[in-house]
Structure 1
């Protein structure tokens, strides 16, 4: 009996008893009780693998409210039977504790669209692969399997036969090739191809071999690219059937079609839906112009994620379950269990905590700091939630004095290693640890790699210049020509002006108390600091325009899986748009071939070829460690970033009606927050 026929029989009322009996023959394995089954990959099976191991034929069931949820997805047709919605090869997921119940709304908080949103993004996220919750094993997700050639220059990925987009259209290898060839490499979409999708400065070749087979060919070895697909927000697929309508290459009437619906041309329509970004939380068409989106017959771009946006305004967004989602549990129930996600934008931290304490928030981990823990712990019972700690990765806050500052006087000061050493010695990290981190961390410098995930950063490097020594700091500042001639407590710059640093910060990137402490520490050695708190959007805009005196954020994107496939943390500006680092004018010099920006020191120039070499090695190999050590030493010698407290734990909160929640192995953007923990199998106790 074919799978399609079995599914069709399941939907027949006359065979409900037969269906139930067949379903009972398959064990409802959970992680708590795998019932003797041992999958190839942790906690999940391919359908054929599960049926063979359990000696059964799986029957499938759907959310009884899925038709009503589908009605909220503007532009979706009436739902076909489940047999026509699931892939022929669904991914079978073993729930952590229990087979769940359908229903409920997962409520969460972000600071604003594109601000603090990756927490909830990770709940609905999918990519070709993901990390299992051991944070060591890459496992299938959208992809069914993959295969490398001998030198890691060709990756062949096999997709799931019969997989569909959220609007019911087929998802095929063409959607992967379209994403890279027609969007990433399209100069009408990206004036300059994003560096992260070039390899030693050259593009890959992405070819749809057949409906379920896509081949990536790289100009250099890229053994870490699977890690990118496992942890990255950028999804390696876009719906060709939907977006290609706006491209004259595929539709000779593209401009006319766009103009018919109020766009200037096809490119404007494409930008309206795609936005020139793989980042999934750019404002959706519903927020840009909901009436225009609905007039075009599709409110948002179709997705493969577990939930799809159906409403968005200035206050937040609402999502409903994807009726074509590709996962089922071991009882044959299509996932996700949770019907809806309700994301509210709240910029004020006190209001955020109040919402949590009132029991209004089902899940929260991003932008939740140890300084919040005592208050939230005290109100745990009142709000009917649980607050826990998890080891954090990429959470060490840094200070990066702008070494390519637009002001040449400040630039010269900030490039001086002795000035930076003085700034590091002026910081009382033990006090920061006690006040902000409840004594849970250790003083630590930061690097372009997370020390706990690599072996090439020594303890001596981590501890360098972390002792509190304000007297030596003052001596160093004097040695670089900074004096207080009028004895008003503020040092003067070489041009006679007072040395005043404006510290702009966002509480998404740093606990709010740290900038206040840093202001006082630096003021005590003669460097006056003026504070200004802004939103994360405002902070990022200023930093990426090279308008800040000093950058401060969490040093994320640096765990081994991240650095094995992306050199962003290793070369100027030592971060991405969302976590800006240092040396923006150095980066501009490199990008422009020397016609713009500021020429960097010679050993900073070495970082680009070193980073290329690093990516071509298997992470953890002897050669990888040698190169990584050299990069880290250059980084440290130039004080690219000054770290505060490392090895901290981070709090996260979930309401007690949320089930199948596993203790987090790590709280980390570097593994994309909740993505390794399979939120599609979470359920809400009614």
Structure 2
């Protein structure tokens, strides 16, 4: 499958030609090359780091050319960001302003100095161009004085600290000359990162060390990125050793990948604070009835979805609040620490009976109006793990007498139905942040609410709760931990009692990698960075690698 989370997760080349081009285990010279792959199909040359469909974004090499102010580790949300282009930062009490001290002695790859003016230019560029401000940060002012950049906002950015610090810094002398930075394909990318673009073809993108890099000499002499035709081609390249670093869904990964070379082939799929859930349409039957939502939640076997549908790759979410553990342990309210999901058909039936549901002679569930409870679950064709999970859910619900069917429309059809609210149920993800705020905001916040037929960016199920929306506002603007904890507890209670979505598994930020030629990868034993090659941590990882 090609979801944004499988870059999301935020997309042809013939397999034989691709594998030959990758050449990870070719002669002695190529052994020193690091080969990276993603299953994104055919690409066109575009190095604009802001454009979701650019080659630099899809393959991830934008994060070896450009760098963030700080490295934010979403798999360890309670850890402090690692200083990068900013050496230190200080927020005011209500998180409406931040002072960023910019690292000195940094050069752009064209030998120009990187200064605080470049950082201020970057923020102002985002402020003045909504298309470049993907996180919709509410900028008020941006100023530079010496090595310090001060950014102010119209509202608290407590929940967006990581997004501010993760901002990619751009060279003013290059980007100020663009007619439209949001659409310029940036054919000669100039960055501060450890690598520069050497060559680009529709098969392979090659980057080589930036000899002006402030962080020292990059250890890998050449990195080649390949866009494989699909998941199967990408998996084959990993299993053959032709690709050394990727992020792809591999069913039966132990047999297909790791067992090919148990000493060197590794897979690590840690989760952050994002989830994959069954999204429910609250505007029409059957999910406009909270009793039905609660009963369905009790009937779904999350362990089966985790182990079979997602092949054990996506970590189980078994806390009823929907917060992944262990990443979110510190955020789960004391009263819900032990609220673990268990399949309980007897309790599900009791809830339904109390809400005037009945069963006919054939065991079919009837709603309070006497109509059979049926609905359609849909996700795009080719999203094999999602569709397998939906099939499991449909089978689970048959035990309640519910007829749930699975459909697999083309992506564009599904995507339109998702945004306009023309669906019954679907599997979908939430965003990942440094707190669980995004989990709850994405599915509960009425700020995202749109009437049926209008395009919704989140809250696809049109869940309505003034209480949840107020708790989200209060959490975002709070200046003390006690208030935040109270708001977070309210959101967790609403998730349990009203079931806006049904959490199933966590969203991993993972990778497959090989240690045949390079060691120093992040791992469960050393979780210093997000291992996924399309994340900002790519430069942090590559600079940590050592020859095997």
TM over 0.5: yes
Mapped partners of 1:650, 1:430: distance in 2: 20
CA distance 1:655–1:124, shift in 2 (3 Å): farther
Pick which of 477-486 and 391-400 moved more.
477-486
Whether 1:443 aligns to 2:318 is yes
Q: So what's the TM-score if we normalise by structure 2?
A: 0.73
Whether 2:291 is the aligned partner of 1:418: answer yes
Q: Contact 2:275 / 2:439 at 8 angstroms: preserved in 1?
A: no
1:141 deviates by 0.7
Q: State the partner residue of 1:570.
A: 440
Q: Shift of the alpha carbon at 1:209? A: 1.8
Question: Paired residue for 1:352, among 234, 242, 245?
Answer: 234
Q: Name the CA distance, whole Å, in 2 between partners of 1:224 and 1:438.
A: 28
Q: CA offset at residue 556 of structure 1?
A: 4.9
Match status 1:402 vs 2:281: yes
Q: Give the equivalent residue in structure 1 for 2:403.
A: 527
Q: 2:87·2:101 contact (CA, 8 Å) conserved in 1?
A: yes
1:497-576 aligned at under 5 Å gives the runs 499-505=374-380, 513-525=388-400, 526-532=402-408, 542-558=417-433, 561-562=434-435, 567-573=437-443
1:442 to 1:225, Cα distance in 2 relative to 1, 3 A: closer
Deviation, 1:111, is 3.1
The answer (yes or no) to whether the contact 1:582–1:640 under 8 Å persists in 2 is: no
Q: Helix, strand or coil: the match of 1:557?
A: coil
* Secondary structure of the corresponding residue to residue 493 of structure 2: helix
- Kept in 2, the 8 Å contact 1:658–1:682? The answer is no
After TM superposition, the structure 1 stretch with the greater mean CA deviation from structure 2, 306-315 or 159-168, is 306-315
CA gap 1:671/1:482 in 2 versus in 1, 3 angstroms: farther
User: Which residue does 2:500 correspond to in 1?
Assistant: 640
Q: Cα offset for 1:195?
A: 5.9
Residue aligning to 2:22: none
Q: Provide the residue aligned with 2:83 in structure 1.
A: 140
In structure 2, the residue matched to 1:361 is 243
C-alpha distance in structure 2 between counterparts of 1:244 and 1:674, whole Å: 23
Deviations 1:210-253 (Å, cap 9, x if unpaired)? 4x3211223455456543345x4x42x3332223224xxxxxxx
Counterpart among 519, 541, 548 of residue 679 in structure 1? 541
Please say which of residues 484-493 and 336-345 is displaced more in the overlay: 484-493
Q: Is the 8 Å Cα contact of residues 234 and 248 (structure 2) preserved in structure 1?
A: no
The superposition leaves residues 457-509 of structure 1 with CA deviations (integer Å, 9 ceiling, x where unpaired) of 24763665722133443554566566676959586796968723132158779
Q: How does 1:449-460 map to 2 (within 5 A)?
A: 452-458=327-333
CA distance in 2, matches of 1:311, 1:163: 24
Q: 1:640 to 1:440 in 2, by over 3 A?
A: closer
1:447: Cα distance to partner?
A: 3.4
Shift of 1:434: 4.7
1:44 matched residue in structure 2: none
Aligned 8 A contact 1:589 1:598 in 2: no
Equivalent residue in structure 1 for 2:142, among 206, 210, 214: 206
Per-residue displacement from partner, 1:151-184 (whole Å, max 9, x unpaired)? 6543222223342333333332222222232333
Change (3 A) 1:685 1:336: closer
2:104 corresponds to which residue?
161
Kept in 2: contact 1:444–1:644 (CA 8 A): no
SS in 1 for 2:111: coil
Q: By how many angstroms is 1:127 displaced?
A: 0.8
TM-score (norm: length of structure 1): 0.60
Shift of 1:522: 2.4
User: 1:414 Cα deviation (Å)?
Assistant: 1.8
Structure with the greater alpha carbon radius of gyration = 1
- Residues 309 and 105 (structure 1 numbering): CA distance in 2 closer, same or farther, change over 3 Å? same
Change (3 A) 1:651 1:598: closer
- Counting only pairs closer than 5 Å after superposition, residues 185-334 of structure 1 correspond to structure 2 as 185-186=128-129, 189=131, 196-198=136-138, 203-210=139-146, 212-222=147-157, 226-230=161-165, 232=166, 234-235=167-168, 237-246=169-178, 266=179, 269-273=180-184, 285=185, 299-309=187-197, 317-328=205-216, 334=217
Deviation of 1:358 after TM superposition, in Å, equals 0.8
Selected match of 1:129 from 60, 70, 73: 70
Unmatched runs of 5 consecutive residues or more in structure 2: 1-29, 44-51
Deviation at 1:657, TM superposition (A): 0.8
Q: Report the equivalent of 1:652.
A: 512
Shift of 1:547: 4.1
Please tell me whether the aligned partners of residues 586 and 600 of structure 1 are also in contact (alpha carbons under 8 angstroms): no
The match for 1:603 among 467, 485, 493 is 467
Corresponding residue number in structure 1 for 2:224: 341
Shift of 1:574: 5.5
Q: Give the Cα separation in 2 of the matches to 1:420 and 1:486.
A: 23
5+ unaligned residues in a row in structure 1: which ranges? 1-100, 247-265, 274-284, 286-297, 329-333, 576-580
Q: Please say if 1:385 is aligned against 2:271.
A: no
Q: CA RMSD, aligned part only?
A: 4.6
- 8 Å contact 1:108–1:120 — kept in the other structure? no
1:446 & 1:119 partners in 2: Cα distance? 33
The offset of 1:583, in angstroms, is: 6.5
- Count residues with an aligned counterpart: 497
Task: Give 1:324 shift.
Answer: 3.5
Q: Name the SS of the counterpart of 2:287 in structure 1.
A: helix
Aligned CA distance change for structure 1 residues 167 and 358 (closer, same or farther; 3 Å)? same
